[in-house]
Structure 1
Amino acid sequence: MTHLQTGLSPETIEKARLELNENPDVLHQDIQQVRDMIITRPDIGFLRTDDAFILRFLRARKFHQTDAFRLLAQYFQYRQLNLDMFKNFKADDPGIKRALIDGFPGVLEKRDHYGRKILLLFAANWDQSRNSFTDILRAILLSLEVLIEDQELQINGFILIIDWSNFSFKQASKLTPSILKLAIEGLQDSFPARFGGVHFVNQPWYIHALYTLIKPFLKDKTRKRIFLHGNNLNSLHQLIHPECLPSEFGGTLPPYDMGTWARTLLGPDYSDENEYTHTSYNAMHVKHSSSNLERGCSPKHMTRSQSVVEPGTLKHEELGHYSK
């Protein structure tokens, strides 16, 4: 084990070896080979090139060095092409702060049974007079930047659950192709994270239509990881155990408190706008310590119910592993 793997459990190191082709004996050589490719893109300002930073891109692309460099280049190019999105890119920026306080995104304390971090979006909480879609996207990207510092998450990855309950047609009409493309480029094409699944819950017909619209922008492996559950929580529980989920998703945990992640990032600044916080799900209170957000969810046996889901959405043998 090299110093770059310090803090990782033996189980996670072995997982990185088996699933990501991570070899501690040649880790530094792999990183250097990616770094050596930087001279091929003089049009891009690579603002950070240290070992730990490059390593997350290698992990995101299973140590395929060319693919890892392409992702690294796209990461910085995306920021160059969208400079306004990354001005004052911190939690206390007014736009980002409002989005965080309104629960964009939510981040569960417990990870799933594969060690993946679960992010939540309650779509109906989008007050379009208060938060622009761009600020919500900025808050999500900032949250991922904070979370990806955790090496365990670089290896285990993330899951996103979007609850479309009470999301109106009027709200959906604001999701234009251009801003959805911006989000896809930022998350799918330009960020060094392993997304194990994107789960739609309680989606109305017009979200199905919207999904059809954005499909051409999605890579094949991304499409395979999008699951449309409708109101069938049994199919969600086949992929994410109820012990890891709040009650809104049929889980055994308390309802999600929208301020959980905002309090972690904002600290004392959180109270400045408490009066705006959505309270429909505020049923539990957590400590500010970010360490609480890293407690794992132990796998437990569960009965897997037969269920009807969207055609083609549960065809993957791994149900939680990743494919290149």
Structure 2
Amino acid sequence: MTHLQAGLSPETIEKARLELNENPDILHQDIQQVRDMIITRPDIGFLRTDDAFILRFLRARKFHQMEAFRLLAQYFQYRQLNLDMFKNFKADDPGIKRALTDGFPGVLENRDHCGRKILLLFAANWDQSRNSFIDILRAILLSLEVLIEDQELQINGFILIIDWSNFSFKQASKLTPSILKLAIEGLQDSFPARFGGVHFVNQPWYIHALYTLIKPFLKDKTRKRIFLHGNNLNSLHQLIHPECLPSEFGGTLPPYDMGTWARTLLGPDYSDENEYTHTSYNAMHVKHASSSLEQEDSPKPMKRLVLLWEPPPGGLDGGRPGREGWERGCGRAGKR
């Protein structure tokens, strides 16, 4: 085992070998071959090229070196093309701070049965007079930057659950094709994370319409990992254990506390009154710009959502979701 795999469990190292083609004997050669490609893109400022950083891109692309380099280039190009988004890209930036304290995103403490981290978005809590969509996207990207430092998550990946309960048509009208495309480019095309699934629950008809609108921007693999459950939480439980989920999603855990992840990022100075100064992450490899972000205004009172739903005593079809269904939910633990 190379020092780059230090801290990984034997099971995770074996998983990386089987599913990601990770070979500790040639890990440094793989990394160097990606690094050697940087000279082919003089138009991009590669602001970080250390071994550990490049390794996460190789893992995200199953050690296909050219694809890993393409993702690395897109990562920095996305930041160069959207400088405003990455100005003051840290937790105590006012816009990011507001989004975090409003629960964008939520991050569950425990991982799912495949070792993946579960991120939550309660869409109706988007107060458009308080948070721009861009700031919510920035908070999500910053959160992923923090989480992806964990090598276990580089290998196991992430799950995203979006609850669309009470998300109004007026709120949906702010989700323009341009900002949705920006989000897709930032998450699908430019970030070294393995997303094992994106789960929509309680989505209204106009979210189906939005999904149809963005489909052309999605890769085939991404489309296969998007699940539209509606109000059928049994189908969600076929893919994610109820024991991993809060009660809002019919799980056995307590309701999600919206301040959980904000307290993690903002540290001991966090308070419910938003009086905090601590910053636990500083993206030194992001270029700053002088211009500021535009804010979107559309008042909406923030809600705390609890779905009035309980799983039937016998689970789906009179029985608990079978292990086969759960393993299928991992896609062999989130295979790309």
Range of TM-score over shorter length: 0.7 to 0.9
Q: Is the CA contact (8 Å cut-off) linking 2:101 and 2:259 kept in structure 1?
A: yes
Specify the SS of the correspondent of 2:215: helix
Specify the SS of the correspondent of 1:53: helix
Q: Is the CA contact (8 Å cut-off) linking 1:264 and 1:288 kept in structure 2?
A: no
Deviations 1:201-246 (A, max 9, x none): 0000000000000000000000000000000000000000000000
Evaluate the alpha carbon distance shift between residue 116 and residue 32 of structure 1 in structure 2; reply closer, same or farther with a 3 A threshold. same
Q: Is the CA contact (8 Å cut-off) linking 1:113 and 1:299 kept in structure 2?
A: no
Evaluate the alpha carbon distance shift between residue 300 and residue 50 of structure 1 in structure 2; reply closer, same or farther with a 3 A threshold. farther
Identity score, percent? 94
Question: Which residue is 2:73 aligned to?
Answer: 73
Question: Which residue is 1:24 aligned to?
Answer: 24
Unaligned runs of 5+ in 2: 305-312, 317-330
Which portions of structure 1, spanning 4 or more consecutive aligned residues, are displaced by more than 6 angstroms? 275-304, 311-314
* Paired residues, number: 313
Q: Is the CA contact (8 Å cut-off) linking 1:107 and 1:261 kept in structure 2?
A: yes
Unaligned runs of 5+ in 1: 305-310, 315-319
Pairwise CA distance, 1:278: 21
Evaluate the alpha carbon distance shift between residue 288 and residue 272 of structure 1 in structure 2; reply closer, same or farther with a 3 A threshold. farther
Evaluate the alpha carbon distance shift between residue 179 and residue 94 of structure 1 in structure 2; reply closer, same or farther with a 3 A threshold. same
Q: Is the CA contact (8 Å cut-off) linking 2:267 and 2:278 kept in structure 1?
A: no
Pairwise CA distance, 1:267: 1.4
Q: Which of 306, 311, 314 is equivalent to 1:312? A: 314
Evaluate the alpha carbon distance shift between residue 291 and residue 185 of structure 1 in structure 2; reply closer, same or farther with a 3 A threshold. closer
Q: Is the CA contact (8 Å cut-off) linking 2:84 and 2:290 kept in structure 1?
A: no
Q: Is the CA contact (8 Å cut-off) linking 2:83 and 2:289 kept in structure 1?
A: no
TM-score when normalising by structure 2? 0.83
CA distance in 1, matches of 2:291, 2:265: 12
Evaluate the alpha carbon distance shift between residue 240 and residue 303 of structure 1 in structure 2; reply closer, same or farther with a 3 A threshold. farther
Deviations 1:253-307 (A, max 9, x none): 0000000000000113422734999999999999999999999999999999xxx
Q: Which has the higher contact order (CA 8 A, sep 6+)?
A: 2
Evaluate the alpha carbon distance shift between residue 282 and residue 187 of structure 1 in structure 2; reply closer, same or farther with a 3 A threshold. closer
CA distance in 2, matches of 1:72, 1:289: 21
CA distance in 2, matches of 1:238, 1:297: 39
Evaluate the alpha carbon distance shift between residue 247 and residue 282 of structure 1 in structure 2; reply closer, same or farther with a 3 A threshold. farther
Evaluate the alpha carbon distance shift between residue 40 and residue 202 of structure 1 in structure 2; reply closer, same or farther with a 3 A threshold. same
CA distance in 2, matches of 1:291, 1:180: 22
Root-mean-square deviation (CA, aligned residues, Å) is: 9.8
Evaluate the alpha carbon distance shift between residue 281 and residue 15 of structure 1 in structure 2; reply closer, same or farther with a 3 A threshold. closer
CA distance in 2, matches of 1:114, 1:273: 36
Evaluate the alpha carbon distance shift between residue 108 and residue 72 of structure 1 in structure 2; reply closer, same or farther with a 3 A threshold. same
Are 2:334 and 1:323 equivalent residues in the alignment?
yes
Deviations 1:165-195 (A, max 9, x none): 0000000000000000000000000000000
Evaluate the alpha carbon distance shift between residue 175 and residue 261 of structure 1 in structure 2; reply closer, same or farther with a 3 A threshold. same
Q: Is the CA contact (8 Å cut-off) linking 2:265 and 2:281 kept in structure 1?
A: no
Evaluate the alpha carbon distance shift between residue 166 and residue 34 of structure 1 in structure 2; reply closer, same or farther with a 3 A threshold. same
Are 2:296 and 1:296 equivalent residues in the alignment?
yes
Specify the SS of the correspondent of 1:197: strand
Deviations 1:120-160 (A, max 9, x none): 00000000000000000000000000000000000000000
Deviations 1:38-68 (A, max 9, x none): 0000000000000000000000000000000
